[in-house]
Amino acid sequence: MNIIITGAAGFLGQRLAAALLQNNVLPFERLILADINTPRPPLEDARVRCVALDLSQPQAAETLIDADCGVLFHLAAIVSSHAESDFDLGMQVNFDATRQLLEVARHKAPAMKFIFTSSLAVFGGELPALIDDGCAVTPQSSYGTQKAMCELLINDYARKGFVDGRVLRLPTISVRPGKPNKAASSFASGIIREPLHGEAAVCPVSPELTLWLSSPGRVVQNFIHAATLPASAFGVSRTVNLPGISVSVRQMLAALREVAGEQVSSLVRFEPDEAINRIVASWPGNFDVRRALAMGFGADEDFQQAIRAFLRDEQAQGEG
């Protein structure tokens, strides 16, 4: 059995690949890491194959998937602000490429577990204070729209037995390592990461804005868990709102102060950015995730933990 990760050069792809190689929760023969530029293997391991593949090209899915593929983690995407500024590219990569992967899986490997990373960005507009599984998706971004369309398609492919699809709606991930990116939520890591590195950071949204967050380590555990569950665990819908923690920006900075001190947390200044705020403020800040918890998905204990996990990861990487 082989496992494929798309978007494997990205930071979650690298974390997921490392976790799959290190623990043996999901046994496999080959781990195929695909991205638009050849990804690096996170560890030296004879089971890894790295391939450069532009998923927006017509034959890409056909090249990637064969009958030996047991699990596909489809992480590749054009992120939110980028998909908003380039609608056509977003459609091509976030929607068309996903559809192409589904079609090839349907014909070559219908038993494949197709794990799709959706997002809380499918929600927007007038929302209840607490989102549950019965809540309508009314995305206020093209990114959210494209993800929501894929969710529908994957559920139909699963219902028809074309592919064993599973959809995970990710919370905003914080604290991400590395550089800011074109995601509208990039600040949610930047306002923690940059100060911890002694650098100033700009917060484009109000301190009162509440976010639904997950640490990268926790979300990677949830990815792998999604691939180990039987299809029957999902019931009538293959879409799951992943657990997270509901934290305001003010609480995030208080957690930063608690973990790293006043001097660090004071490196953040507020400079409202309407374009970012319009997208991020349309996302929900709290979910009823009893179904996901009952299925065995997990959340961080609190945001302090997420900051400490980030510091531990950085230290481990510095030593590695």
Binding residues (CB under 8 A) for a second copy: these are: 87, 125-126, 128, 133-140, 142, 145, 148-149, 152-153, 155-156, 159-160, 162, 236-237
Rounded Cα–Cα distance for residues 51 and 17 (Å): 14
Residues 6+ apart with CB under 8 A from 23: 224
Residue whose CB is less far from a second copy, 142 or 186? 142
The residue behind tokens 């017509």 is: 58
Q: Which of the 8 DSSP states describes residue 283?
A: S
Catalytic residue among 95, 116, 143, 234: 143
Closest CB 64 distance from a second copy, rounded Å: 21
Residue whose CB is less far from a second copy, 73 or 123? 123
Residues 6+ apart with CB under 8 A from 13: 5, 6, 7, 33, 35, 39, 73, 75
Rounded Cα–Cα distance for residues 307 and 301 (Å): 11
Closest CB 125 distance from a second copy, rounded Å: 4
C-alpha distances in Å from residue 103, one per residue of 28, 60, 80, 108: 23, 12, 25, 9
Residue whose CB is less far from a second copy, 5 or 149? 149
Closest CB 54 distance from a second copy, rounded Å: 22
Q: What six digits make up the tokens of 84?
A: 């908003």
Asked about 143 being catalytic, the answer comes back as yes
Residue whose CB is less far from a second copy, 86 or 258? 86
Residue whose CB is less far from a second copy, 29 or 132? 132
Q: What angle (nearest 5°) sits at the alpha carbon of residue 25, between those of residues 222 and 315?
A: 65
Closest CB 319 distance from a second copy, rounded Å: 46
β-strands 268-270, 172-173 pairing: unpaired
Closest CB 240 distance from a second copy, rounded Å: 13
Rounded Cα–Cα distance for residues 84 and 268 (Å): 26
Residue 34's φ and ψ, nearest 5 degrees, are -120, 140
Which residues have a catalytic role annotated? 143
